[in-house]
Chain A
Amino acid sequence: MNQSLTDVDSHGEHHADHSHDSRLQHHFATFEQQFDAAKLGMWLFLGTEILMFGGLFVGFALQQAAHPEAFVAAHHHLDKKMGALNTVVLLLSSFTMVMAVHKAKQAKRAAMTAYLLVTLACAGTFMVVKFFEYQHKFHEGLLPGAFYKVQHIGEVPNQFIFFSFYFMMTGLHGIHVLIGMILITWLVIKGRTGAFDGKWYTPVDLVGLYWHLVDLIWIYLFPLLYLIT
């Protein structure tokens, strides 16, 4: 990942005296060391995120094993088309995020901003679609636990447990999307002043990693919740 940094070094733009560039924190010797530390820290943090969602996945698997008919019956209430649309939207946003990181590395400010804005638009689309899905479920009373309102004769019992997991998982994921949107907006604002170049684009890279994780979790959530057989 440090190819570009090394290139900058070899072109002589990167001098031994770092004290003039305020972007290098005092406790690091080089930009490379600072970047590697930040990236390692981000990967560790993403590991904790996966473990946190992992708890929900384990709980889901166990409860699905305990109430298989209920989970199959309940998942028919989800709109597969909306879920598929959101999957496509997020996959696209991951691509534009990669491009934004790439452009930040090349110090192409306008292109980076454009890609970030497209990513932001995708994230917004995802949330709007999610809003309509939630609205539909609130309307139908397909709610977690004690708030579950659907009572048909011959209904498979315990379907509300599925919706408990549905709302916990997509809700927690949605919060992560919102946080990602805030972070991308921050990058757009910060990037307008030309803060990022090949020597220092750490925030873009880290937000990019975070965004891919958000995307990745959805890629697991979509088949898990929408495509049960």
Chain B
Amino acid sequence: MAHYAPGENYLNSPPGLWSWLSTVDHKRIGIMYLWSILFFFLIGGLMALLVRIELLTPKQTIMTAEQYNQVFTLHGAIMVFLFIIPSVPAALGNFVLPLMLGAKDVAFPKVNLMSLYIYWTGALMAVGAIVLGGIDTGWTFYTPYSTSTGGAVSLMTLAAFVLGFSSILTGVNFIATIHKLRAPGMGWFQLPLFIWSMYATALIQIMATPVLAITLLLLFMERVFHIGIFDPKLGGDPVLFQHFFWFYSHPAVYIMIVPGFAIISEIIPTFSKKTIFGYKAIAFSSVAIAIVGFLVWGHHMFVSGQSTLAGAIFSFLTFLVAIPSAVKVFNWLATMYRGSIDLRAPMLYACSFLLLFSIGGLTGLYLGAMSVDVHLHDTYFIVAHFHYVMMGGTVIAFLGGLHYWWPKMFGRMYNERLAAIACALVFVGFNVTFFTQFVLGSRGMPRRYYNYLDQFQPLHAFSTYGSWILGAGLFLTAGYLLATFRKPMDAPANPWGGKTFEWETQSPPITHNFDFDPVLLHGPYDYRPAKPRENEPVAH
């Protein structure tokens, strides 16, 4: 076993920019992913603020209708493809997953680095599409509009195609790692629940993304060679595009939210100092969501001429997803019950998640009911719904995870008081912005509209004010997190009293993760008083 000098860790050894760009260390790749996605979170967030400012008044406020179409499209495309999808798996997951398994790296470190470069290539192409004419189709690229409009749609579809490969490679890597690189003694039911959710996510990534790849390729061909597969003018079928697109993109919603579950399942036991309630129920519910999630895509097409029978089946299957989701929420609550709850920043985010995700999930049932959806389809109600799931769920969980593992990643503690204030601002700002949109949508305000009736103006203005509070909270977060780099490393190995492997190595870890060979001696959430158990392996 190599020996390490004090103060030596994966961040500073070996030094130099090239050592980072050519690294195969999963932690460094995770960190490079992290800065990349945070950059795009900033860009996508600024675009969101611009959209809200434009909607402050009816008609033109700060931009033309064409600019508005491009800004909301790029907000959606950037947030989905460049921020949320890679946020938890590729950034936090890359860093944490091998550590949690007690492994030295992911199964295929070079493939891991390749996925990062593919991501960067796709990101450059997406930025290129923005610079070279923009896109105004919405992130869904629906045909026939997307095959007839101008701008850089072709380049953007190729960018999403390339980004999909990066996502597939991460998924393949994680599944192989979880199967083959668990520490001795770590069976499937001793895995941290983060791993179970990552496994479910990776399954969806490798099963859904290839279909998006071929769909985008066909769309690209349709634009360039007019192949007549989606274009109705040439005998093609535009609804086929919707089927293909949502066959990927509805599971993709679970690629985005299941990693959120992953983080919450870690934070809640750690800050409740209590064994997780219903381990197997939470583990299997992740897999159940991954499977059922493949069978519900038709609920995006209730008004696209789909048969009523198919609609009814999709509607029923959509309701089914609520069951494993609720299983998780109730198990987390039961974990907190009579726990010793410590309201540090990660736990504040986890509590926010429970409330916001519950609202997001329950409003999904409204939209899954066909007759209600006919009225709410393409209104602000759906905008509010998916922001409650994607931002109130995934992004809040991501922020919780960022605060949870920040000391592990960078060896530095942040200002706890500022973190609490920022979390409160985010929570309040988020609800002011998006709860208002439920009201707007139920009153008939259509989504993606540039102009609107005067009667909607007070609610639109209220939503815009909320976006400023939300923005203030996020900028404050960026401020105090970046400020931690101005002081020396002060984080202990295990600041929160976590029980999983990543807390057993120093903060930040050494390049090879552990200076000992990890062997599992207790469960991932074993907060019971120390006493020997019957089924516990004997310590070496």
Contacts and interface: CB of A to CB of B under 8 A. Distances in A.
Nearest to B172: A44
Interface centre among B107, B240, B512, by most chain A C-beta atoms within 10 angstroms, is: B107
A26 B26 CA distance: 13
Contacts of B512: 26
Given A40-B180, A41-B172, A161-B236, A63 B229 contact: yes
A66 B235 CA distance: 9
B181 A161 contact: no
A80 B207 CA distance: 34
* Residue among B108, B217, B228, B234 having the largest count of chain A Cβ atoms under 10 Å: B228
A37 B181 contact: yes
A4 to B, nearest CB: 19
Given A41-B173, A55-B214, A27 B103 contact: yes
B483 to A, nearest CB: 35
B51 interface: no
Contacts of A33: 180-181
B58 to A, nearest CB: 41
A147 B225 contact: yes
A44 B229 contact: no
A144 interface: yes
Nearest to B214: A55
A58 B218 CA distance: 13
Contacts of B221: 144-145, 164, 168
A51 B215 contact: no
A117 B104 CA distance: 38
Interface of B: 98, 103-109, 111, 168, 171-173, 175-177, 179-181, 206-207, 209-211, 213-215, 217-218, 221-222, 225-229, 234-237, 240, 244, 512
Given A55-B214, A146-B225, A161-B236, 18 more contacts: A27-B107, A37-B176, A38-B176, A40-B179, A40-B180, A41-B108, A41-B175, A41-B176, A45-B168, A51-B211, A52-B213, A144-B227, A145-B228, A145-B234, A161-B235, A164-B227, A164-B229, A168-B218
23 contacts: A27-B98, A27-B103, A28-B181, A38-B108, A41-B173, A41-B176, A48-B168, A49-B210, A52-B213, A54-B214, A55-B211, A55-B215, A56-B214, A58-B244, A59-B218, A59-B244, A144-B221, A144-B225, A158-B228, A161-B236, A164-B229, A168-B227, A172-B217
Q: Sorted from nearest, which 7 A-B pairs have the closest CB atoms?
A: A55-B214, A164-B227, A146-B226, A52-B210, A27-B104, A145-B227, A51-B210
